[in-house]
Amino acid sequence: MTTTANSADELPPVLSHPQMRDAIQGGDARTLSKIVTDFVRYRDKWWITHPDGWIRIDDQQLIARLDRHTLWTNAHILVAPTSPAS
């Protein structure tokens, strides 16, 4: 699977496991919950884990359901992470 993006601002449709691990550990990505870790919010997109990597979710109904669940349980996930003040 390819991990190249079409433009500098667009994310590729698949990220590697090391890329997503680094994003989660760095605080740039957040799992749906502490228990449900197969769905991750990263750079304003939802991703689902797969043996080949993390696949970006493009299905609008699924995105709406994930967002709704997040609003009920973990609204902070939908807020983009901010850099700590210098």
Distance CA 21, CA 74 (A): 20
Q: What is the pLDDT along the chain (86 residues), one digit of tens a residue?
A: 445 544 435 889 999 999 999 999 999 999 998 888 999 999 999 999 999 999 999 999 999 999 988 887 766 666 656 555 54
Q: For residues 81 and 27, is the Cβ–Cβ distance under 8 A? A: yes
In the chain, DSSP assigns E strands to 14-15, 29-31, 39-42, 45-50, 53-56
For the chain, the domains span 14-78
